Amino acid sequence: MLDAARASGRVVQVGLQRRSTPHIAEAKERFLGEGKLGKIALVEIYCYYHMRATENPPDTAAPEYLDYEMWTGPAPMRPYTTLAHPRRWRAFMEYGNGIVGDMCVHMLDMTRWMMGLGWPSRIASTGGILVDTKSKANITDTQTATFDFGEVKVVWQHRSWGAPVAADHPWGATFYGDKGTLKVDVYGYEFTPLDGGAPVRRGVTYELVEYPEDRTEKDLERHVAPAVRYHMRNFLQAIDTRGRPVSDIEEGYISTASCILANNALKLGRTLAWDPKTRTVVGDSEANELLRRPYRAPWVHPA
């Protein structure tokens, strides 16, 4: 997709909206841009939402309105269950990339953007289904992944059980610098200097006066509405100027592929070294086989 976008000269934006979140952009400029954190060597990113399906419904025939064969597409065929369709497909690795693909990708991408990081050179992961063993869901309920960017290590953790480490930051990132600590999430940020100064806090930006429809729009996550708006404005501006949007397809590719590599590292039980020039795992043919999922016949992979 990246090659196609570059060859055609198209403007392609990925929906990683943390790059367009007003208070996060402010934190990036105010604390990282001005060097108030000092040297940062470790960033912890995390999600403690209880978002993994816990149900165990029976296998049944698919409803008459659903062409289950077509719905499954090239993915492996599973028995139909109400847990899979229509909105719970995230519970299965056959259809997605687990909580790492759902949630880690956003915080990893945000961290990369805030710190100007490119590709990780090494990716490792450990975890599994350690607590909730009764559900049909086969995504991990516990997983840690380490993304090695050289002088900066980014460590992801999710638990879909238990209490969050910090109740007010259940899905976010903590930047550890030798001059201070910065916690960032979709609801705000908190900077704590190490020189004894007072902490600096900022909440999420709401635009309820400018956009009163945010109060009434069905199913809207109000706290991210401004981020979505700024993201779309940036996309339209990039179309006008033929420039690269803040969440250009190459940035989305890096963050997404890094998360997929973390899942593959967990599956294989070893650390993977990535070469972005060849787009391959160094010296690991088994890991490279996992970069492309096999297609179920009669579907044929476009490559």
Map residue 185 onto helix, strand or coil: strand
List the one residue out of 124, 118, 117, 223 whose CA is nearest residue 175: 117
Q: Is 285 exposed, middle or buried (0-12, 13-18, 19+ CB in 10 A)?
A: exposed
CA distance linking residue 180 with residue 27, whole number of Å: 13
- The string of pLDDT tens digits covering residues 244-287 is 999 999 999 999 999 999 999 999 999 999 999 999 999 999 99
Beta strand spans in 59-152 (E): 122-128, 142-148
Q: Which residue has the tokens 């990339």?
A: 97
Q: What is the pLDDT of residue 148?
A: 98
pLDDT string in tens for the chain (303-residue length) = 999 999 999 999 999 999 999 999 999 999 999 999 999 999 999 999 999 999 999 999 999 999 999 999 999 999 999 998 877 899 999 999 999 999 999 999 999 999 999 999 999 999 999 999 999 999 999 999 999 999 999 999 999 999 999 888 899 999 999 999 999 999 999 999 999 999 999 999 999 999 999 999 999 999 999 999 999 999 999 999 999 999 999 999 999 999 999 999 999 999 999 999 999 999 999 999 999 999 999 999 988
What is the pTM assigned to this prediction? 0.96
Q: What is the pLDDT of residue 207?
A: 95
List the one residue out of 136, 131, 149, 138 whose CA is nearest residue 99: 138
Q: What is the pLDDT of residue 168?
A: 86
Q: What is the pLDDT of residue 84?
A: 86
List the one residue out of 19, 166, 187 whose CA is nearest residue 106: 19
